[in-house]
Each structure stands twice: as structure tokens, then as C-alpha cells.
Structure 1
Amino acid sequence: MTRPLLRGVLPRTLLARNIALLIALVVLSQVCSLGVLLHYVQRPRVERAAAVFATYVTTLDSLLQSTPAGARDALTARLDTRTRLPDSAQAEPPPSVLRAYRNYQRKVFLDSLRKHLPADMEARWQTEGGQRLWIRLHAPAAASGAAAPRAPYWIALPIPEDAQGNGLDAAILLSLGLAALAALTGYAIQLHLNRPLQELTHAARRLSAGETPPPLPTDGPVEIAAVSSAFNQMTEALKQAEATRALMLAGISHDIRTPLTKLRLSMAMAMPDGSDSSFAVAAESYLDQIETILQQFMDYAGSGEREPAEPGDLNALVERLAGDFAGLGHEFELSLARLPLVDYRPVSMMRLLMNLMQNAIVYGGSGLAVRSWATHDAVYVAVGDRGKGLSAEELEQLKAPFQRGRNARAHSGGTGLGLAIVERIARLHGGRVEFHAREGGGLEVWVVLPARAG
């Protein structure tokens, strides 16, 4: 349950995952640092400032209480005391996401100030029209002969610097800037590490397409250099194995075809004139089957890796093959749409289409047809028939080498490599082979090739 959830949340690429992890670690470290700074540094500092400020306020209140009435009235007038608070003065700072840090310091300051002041000396914070702190001072003693005692009054005092929260703004901005710089640096480092991986991916794709990529550089980090060196060794080993295989196949082809040719000649010379030639005909048939099997092995082993690809029109190749089969008495109905040029290996692609069309003739028999169409990113060629042989699911299993279907028992001379050759050539061109039930009955084999870039 947890693993599928993580797969859905985490980014797909290694670059994005490392950057997300780096950002998360930087953010976590900054949050922890800010928490420690606020709780163990700033909070005690603000609380000390509030205690000192409370001492000043109580001293001022006591001074005003002991000042004679006339002098006190003149002093309170100069201090701009009021009997009524301004509307903008509030008991708590207004909530604000952008000013969360300042509001936090102000709240700590107000809470600590109220603890150190008498309960009847209230404090209010004014944010509009300037930052001021309003303190409710005790009412002065009533003058002798006054009709009623005088009411308490409010006095505006400047806010201490420690309570305004201005000192740490620059530090927080600098910390955020350093965090962003760390994230960008990590991004640059990860891009530098990803470049060899991208080169390795590109080289592996070229190798799977039958090409020989140039050696990868091995001057990077030790771990990446080790992977590149191992890949270069593997490429060289495959190159040597390919050369050995080509030499072995050439030798097998020569060594087997030479005695077969001599056997044909010996049989022809050994048969007297006018004798029954049924044995010679059967022997010739067996020899033809041996050569056919040998050629299928050679086709599967070669598959055209060394043949260069060139742009061409698949419709022209289909029309030429259909004309060749028509000359042998097998008519294919063609429905060919306009196709863009496709990069393909001519001999290998002809072998692929010929195998499919030959299979349609042998195992389908009727309703032979070839159609083509294109989309924005792929080119399709479909070979179909109206046979009632194998299903699409069964044919998928025949892509493996040496697999023969139940409908192949009545046909001799096969090795189970036909569809394997088709699949291998399609993958060599970056494409695939698909099997689909044909509308109206029968089967279609689709060859899907990537469209030419640009």
C-alpha cells in the first residue's frame, strides 16, 4: 500500500527526485534553524525587552501619580494622553501570512508585558498611522474639593526595537536566498551527473538498433566512469562476438552448400538415361528443404544489422512484392494510402514483408490483401488473409524462435523462425509487430514503424 502511494507521489525521473529531496532537506533545515532561533534566541530577547519596558511604564505611572496636579496636567498634555483609544489600537496584532514573524514577536512582547504590568494596566498595539503602543495608566488622585474622581487615561509610547521584529527580516531573506542557491547548485550538480547517464542511454539504444556507438568517456566521477568503462567493454565484446558469428555463419554456409551442390551433381551423373526419376525428384525436394532451412537460419542470425538504413517509400516496396507474387499466381488486393518517407534497410524490410505475404499465402490461402496508412508518429503496413488458422493470441507466442503453430504440421520445410525474423527486423527498425482480427473474418499482421523525424 505504501509503495504504490510513493510511486504515485514521487517524480518519475532521478533528476526530479534528487532536486525534490534536496529542496525538502534545505526547507527542513531552514525551518528547524528558524524554530531554534525564535525559541532560544529571539523569544528570551523579546521577553527581556518587555520586562524592561514594563519597568519604564510602572515608573512613569508612579511618577505621574506623585506629580502635583498642575505640573501633571501640563505633562500629560505634552505626552498626548487620551481618555479614549483610537479605533486602530488592538489587543492582538491582526493575522497576516506575510507578517507572521512580526506578529509572532509582537504577541510574545504583549503577553510578556501584561505579565509584568498590573492587571488594570491594559496594553494595545496600534498599526495604522504609525507603530505605537498604548498603555492605560492609573487615574490620578482626585483633587481636594473635586466632585468626582478622575478617569484613567491612555498614553502612547514608542515601541522598542526588539518588539517590532525588524532585525531578523534581513537574516530570514538571506537564509531563503542561500536555500535557493543551494537548490540551484544541487540542480546544476545533478544535471552534470545526469549527462553521462543520458549518453549511456543513447549509446544503449544505438547498440540495440544494431549500430556500434562510439566509446563513452571515462573521465567523470569514479562511479559513472566505472559504468561507462563496463559498457565500453561490453560493446567491444559484442563487436567481437558479432565478427565471430559472421565468420562462423559464412563458414557454415560455404561448408554445407558445397557438399549439397556436389550431391546434386553426383545424383544427376549417377542416374542412367531413361530410368525412373521419382527418386531423383524426391531427393531434389529434400535438398531444397535443406537449403531453405539453412537460409532461414542465416536470415535469423543476420537480420540486416550491418545494412545501412536509407529513406524510402514502403508502398513502392509493397507494390513490387505484390507484382512478384502475382506472377506466381497469388493476387494481393492493395489499399495503399500516401505514406511519408521512412528510414529502413531495403533488403531486411523486403525480407520482412515477403515473410508475412508468404505466410498469408501458405496459411491463409484466400482474401490476400495489403493496406497501409500513417499517423503523426508512425507508419503502418498490414498484411491480411481470410484464413481460419491461428488466433492473434496464438501468433503472439510464435514470435519466439523455433515455435511452430498447430497449422504448420501439414507444411514441411519450416523451422519456426519466420515470425521471429519478422519481429527481429521490426525491432531493428525501432518498430513492432501486432496481430489483429480482420474485419469480416481472418487475420491481419500490422508492421508499425516510427515516422521519420523532421
Structure 2
Amino acid sequence: MGSVTLPRSLFARNIALLVALVIVSQISSLSVLMHFVQRPRIERAAETFAIYVQTLDDLLKTVAPDAQSALAVRFEASRQFPAGAASEPSLTWRNFYRTYQRDVFIDTLRQHLPAGMEVQWQTQGEQRLWIRAHLGHEPSWIALPVPEAAHNDGMLSAVALSLALGGLAIVTAYLIQRHINRPLRDLANAAHRLSSGDAPQALRVDGTTEIAQVSVAFNQMVHALQEADATRSLMLAGISHDIRTPLTKLRLAVAMTTPSEEHDELALSTDHYLDQIDAILQQFMDYAGSGTREAAEVGDLNALVTSLAADFAGLGHVFELTLGELQPFAFRPISVMRVLMNLMQNAVLYGRVGLSARTWEDDASHTAYVEIADRGNGVNAGDLDALKAPFKRGRSTGAHPGGTGLGLAIVERIAKLHGGELQLLQREGGGFAAIVSLTTRPGNQRSQEERGAAQEPSQVKR
């Protein structure tokens, strides 16, 4: 058996529920009206009419023979029932109530008339009630006209008014639900901005009590996160400062030492470890800041990629460049340079061969893409998302030691700060690719829906 598919959004579900409730209430009201109000009225009218019919029949039985001819013409008397007079009309929603009303009336009338007195309602042409009465002592079909007011008491107008009121209730419920959903939509947008690294504006707390409580809790959470972020940055800056001061003194002491030939290797090793500690401290500082305080400037992303590729080429690591047509747009140059350097260093450290850099732009989503790829051993598909988590490191294939595991986490935070994201993919034919998207919209912000409409990892061309 198939299951009913409900709308996904709370707004659509509430509207569907309100519409269903209005429909059920209207059907229930009409059912109660017809069964407990209209039906008893029709039955009482049929009982009264049955008395009149029997009285008329008794009178016609005693009519003098010379007056029977005039009465026969008056009542259209006929020994046989007129052909076609009892044909039933097709039942439609427009004549449903009339048919119901007529059937109840006829059934009740037959119950209160003698067994031999038949009754038929003529529905074609003029509405008439045919009764098999006695004209003199001979049974004959006589026609009694039925006034329009007798079978049209404004019920259809009442039904139409009820449906109009139901429609008005649905429209009113829709407007009320939209008003209730507006702060929820603002909350969702603020949450998306917060997840993208932006500081959302404080939500309004002047709505309904329940929504206001949620807004107050969200504002408190944002304030607590901002304080925690500021405390973390201050703590890391203090640690960096306190550790770098003795490191500088230690480096100076090593440099001032006049090494003998047997101590040259130890001095070089010590200097290398000091450089590694300093690089680790810098990565912690980069992760804490991630460019949040840097102002965006209009720049050329292709030029930045070309410049960094030239620097790596000078170190013996050549990246094959495939640069698309990118219009200048606003981005944080130092932060984006940090993104590209981290990805290129990872490609050199973990991939080593088949290094490439590619850029392109998607005009539909207003997004610029940068892909840094290699033809190394790659990474297991199940580990791709885990690599973006802080302190998660891959296995180095070179002689260089691994870093802190913050490189891709820094890239992810900076990409979100620019309204984009980091995608990690396995390449067809072997290798690994990291794709960073940056929005080209002014303000470096875009909604979650637009981000979802951007190119998916499986659709990126190779």
C-alpha cells in the first residue's frame, strides 16, 4: 500500500492541516444541517401533505358525475401514468440537494399514504407531483403542481456561503501562518550566516512568546560563540607570543654558538626543529583568525594562482595551469592566498606528481572555482570529509614531516567566510583534487539555497 507523502516544510504542513480541518468542518456542518435540521423539516412537511392528499382523495370519491369531467381537466386526470413523466435526471453536484430533498419527501409521503395510492414526482419540465387517487370510483393519476418555493428553500445559497466562508478561513490561516513563519525564516537565515563564518545581526524578540524565546536563546548562543572565539584567539595569541619569545632566544643562542665540525649536524637539526615549531604556532594563529578581520578587495584570482604557481616552480614543483575567464571580484587576498598555499603544499607533500591548478566560473550561481589536484596515491573515499576536521592529517609520502592537521580546516573556514565551500574528490585515473568555491556576489554572501544550486562535486568536469 502506498503511503501519503506529506509536505516537508512546517509551513506547508500547517496550511494542509488547516485546509483539511476547514473541509472536514464544512462537510460535518452540512451533514448535521441536512440530517438533523432539513430532513426532519421535510418529513414533517410530507406527513402534513399526506393528510391533505387523503382528504382530497376522499372528496374526489364523492364528486357528482357531472362535475367529474371538469375536475379531470383541472387535475389532468389520466387512467394510465403519462409516459416520461417519472424520468430521473442525471445526478450532479448542483442538483444533489434537490434530489436528496425530493427522495426524502417521496419516501416519507409513501409511508403515510394508503398502500394502493402510488406517488411519482415529475422532474422533466414543470415540477409536478402525480398521485393515483380516485376520481369518482375509478382510480386515476392526477397532477398537483409543486411551487418553486416548495423545493428550493435557499439551501444552495447557504452551501455557497458556507464554502465562501471556508475559503476565507483558509486564506486567513495562510496569512497568519506566513506571519508566524517569518521569524522562523529569519532564524534559519541567521543560522546559515553563522555557519558560513559571518556574524549575523541580533534577531528581533518582539514576536509571540514561543518564537521570542527561541530568538533570545539564539542571540545568547551567538554572543557566547563570539566570546568563545575571541577568547580562543586571545589565548592562541598569548601562547604564540609566550612561546616565540624563548624560541627567538634559543635560535639566537644556537646561532651565536660556534659549532665544531662534529656539532654542525646537531645545530642544523636544532634549527630545523625550531622552524617546525614556529610553523606550527603560525598554523594555530591562522586557524584562530581565518581572515575574519581582513577587508575584502577587488582582485584577480587568476593572477594570484599564477604568482603562487611561479613560486612553487622556483622550488622545483611545477603546477600545470588551466585558467578560465574570471572577472575581478571582491575577496580577502591574504586569506585566499593562504588557501591556495595550503592546498598547493598538500599537493606537493602528499601527491608529488601530476600537479595542476585550474580555475573556472559559473555565471548562473555567481561562483568562482579553484581546483588544486595531483596524481598521487589519493585518499580513501570514506576519509575525504574527515580530512577537513581540525587536527586530522593525511599520511605524508615525502621526507617532510606532517603538519598539525589544521591546513584543510583553515581552507574550509576561509571558503565559508567567502560564501563558498571546500570539496575533496578522488580523481578518475588516480589522484586527489581539492576544489574551493568563492562567491563573486558583492559582499561575499549568498543564501544556502544558492549554495545548494552551485555545482555538485560529481558534476565538476575533469
Q: 1:363 deviation in Å?
A: 1.5
Q: Secondary structure at the match of 2:396?
A: helix
Cα displacement (A) at 1:65: 1.8
Structure-2 change in CA distance of 1:272 and 1:450 (3 Å): closer
Following superposition of structure 1 onto structure 2, how do residues 184-199 of structure 1 map, counting pairs within 5 Å?
Answer: 184-199=171-186
Residue deviations 1:215-265, cap 9 Å, x none?
222111111111111122222222222322232222222222222222222
Matching residue of 1:144: none
For residues 306 and 40 of structure 1, what CA distance do their matches in structure 2 show? 74
Q: 2:416 aligns with which of 411, 427, 430?
A: 427
The residue number in structure 2 matching 1:116 is 112
Matched, 1:411 2:407: no
Q: What corresponds to 1:381 in structure 2? A: 370
Relative distance call for 1:285 and 1:255 in structure 2 (3 A) is same
Name which of 124, 127, 131 aligns with 1:131: 127
How far apart are 1:112 and its partner, in Å?
0.8
Q: Which moved more, 1:339-348 or 1:55-64?
A: 339-348
1:222-241 correspondence runs (5 A): 222-241=209-228
Identity of aligned residues (%): 56
For residue 118 of structure 1, what is the amino acid of its counterpart?
A: P
Is structure 2 residue 247 aligned with structure 1 residue 260? Answer: yes
1:52 aligns with 2:48: yes
Query: Structure 1 residues 13-22 or 420-429, which shifts more?
Result: 420-429
Amino acid paired to 1:25: L
Total equivalences in the alignment: 441
Q: What are the Cα deviations for residues 262-312 of structure 1, in whole angstroms up to 9, with x where unaligned? A: 222222223269885333222111110001111111122222233344555
Q: Is 1:40 the counterpart of 2:43 in the alignment?
A: no
Match of 1:68 in 2: 64
The aligned amino acid for 1:12 is: R
In structure 2, relative to structure 1, the CA distance for the partners of 1:88 and 1:353 (3 Å cut) is farther
Q: Given the alignment of the two structures, is residue 391 of structure 1 paired with residue 380 of structure 2, yes or no?
A: yes
Q: Write out per-residue CA displacement over residues 346-397 of structure 1, whole angstroms, 9 at most, x where no aligned residue.
A: 2222212211111111111111111233443354322111212433433433
Contact map agreement 2:422 2:435 (CA 8 A) in 1: yes
The superposition leaves residues 132-166 of structure 1 with CA deviations (integer Å, 9 ceiling, x where unpaired) of 2222323543xxxxxxxx6723313225845x243
2:382 maps to amino acid: E
What is the rounded CA distance, in whole Å, between the counterparts of 1:385 and 1:250 in structure 2?
A: 34
Aligned CA distance change for structure 1 residues 210 and 439 (closer, same or farther; 3 Å): closer
Q: What amino acid maps onto 2:141 in structure 1?
A: Y
Q: Determine helix, strand or coil for the equivalent of 2:201.
A: coil
Is 189-198 or 399-408 further displaced after alignment? 399-408
Q: Check conservation: 1:64, 1:140, Cα contact below 8 A.
A: yes
Query: Following the alignment from structure 1 to structure 2, what is the Cα–Cα distance between the partners of residues 254 and 222?
Result: 48
| Among 288, 293, 296, the residue aligned to 2:275 | 288
Q: Of the candidates 7, 10, 23, which is equivalent to residue 6 of structure 2?
A: 10
TM superposition shift of 1:20: 1.4
The alpha-carbon distance between structure 1 residues 298 and 94, as it changes in their structure 2 partners (threshold 3 A), is same
One of 77, 85, 88 as aligned partner of 1:89:
85
CA-CA distance at 1:50 after TM superposition: 0.8
User: Alignment partner of 2:211: what SS?
Assistant: helix
| Aligned mates of 1:241, 1:326 — CA distance in 2 | 41
Structure 1 residue 91 displacement after superposition: 6.1
Separation in structure 2 between the aligned mates of residue 259 and residue 337 of structure 1, nearest angstrom: 47
Secondary structure in structure 2 of the residue aligned to 1:372: strand
Q: For the structure 1 residues 119 and 231, does the alpha-carbon distance in structure 2 shift closer, same or farther, using more than 3 Å as the test?
A: same
Among 143, 158, 168, which residue is 1:181 paired with? 168
Partner residue in 2 for 1:402 = 391
Distance 1:237 1:334 in 2: 44
Unpaired stretches in structure 1, ≥5 consecutive residues: 142-149
Is the CA contact (8 Å cut-off) linking 1:106 and 1:165 kept in structure 2? no
Superposition deviation, residue 423 in structure 1: 2.6
Letter in 1 for 2:426: A
Paired residue secondary structure (1:96) = coil
Q: CA deviation at 1:333?
A: 0.8
Aligned equivalents of 2:338, 2:57: Cα separation in 1: 106
Counterpart selection for 1:158 from 127, 137, 146 = 146
Looking at structure 2, the residues matched to 91 and 115 of structure 1 have their Cα atoms a distance apart, in angstroms, of 22
**Is the contact made by 1:135 and 1:157 (CA closer than 8 Å) also made in structure 2?**
no
Query: Does structure 1 residue 345 correspond to structure 2 residue 332?
Result: yes
Equivalents in 1 of 2:67, 2:384: separation in Å?
A: 111
Aligned equivalents of 1:217, 1:436: Cα separation in 2 = 41
* 2:189 equivalent in structure 1: 202
111 and 310 in structure 1: CA distance in 2 versus 1, 3 angstrom threshold: farther
Tell me how far 1:131 sits from its aligned partner.
2.4
Opposite residue 270 of structure 1, the aligned amino acid is: T
Gaps of 5+ in 2: 451-462
- Using the size of structure 1 for normalisation, the TM-score is 0.88
Structure 2 CA distance for aligned equivalents of residues 27 and 188 of structure 1: 18
C-alpha spacing 1:413/1:92, structure 2 compared with 1 (3 Å): closer
CA shift, 1:26, in A, is 2.0
Is the CA contact (8 Å cut-off) linking 1:322 and 1:331 kept in structure 2? yes
Pick closer, same or farther for the CA change 1:251–1:98 going to 2, 3 Å. same
Aligned-pair RMSD on alpha carbons?
Answer: 2.8
Letter matched to residue 436 of structure 2: V
Equivalent residue number for residue 316 of structure 1: 303
TM-score calculated relative to the size of structure 2 = 0.86
1:42-86, CA deviations, whole angstroms, 9 ceiling, x for partnerless residues? Answer: 111101111111222222222222111221211221233345555
Which of 356, 365, 370 is matched with 1:369 structurally? 356
Aligned AA (1:381)? V
What corresponds to 1:145 in structure 2?
none
Letter in 2 for 1:53: F
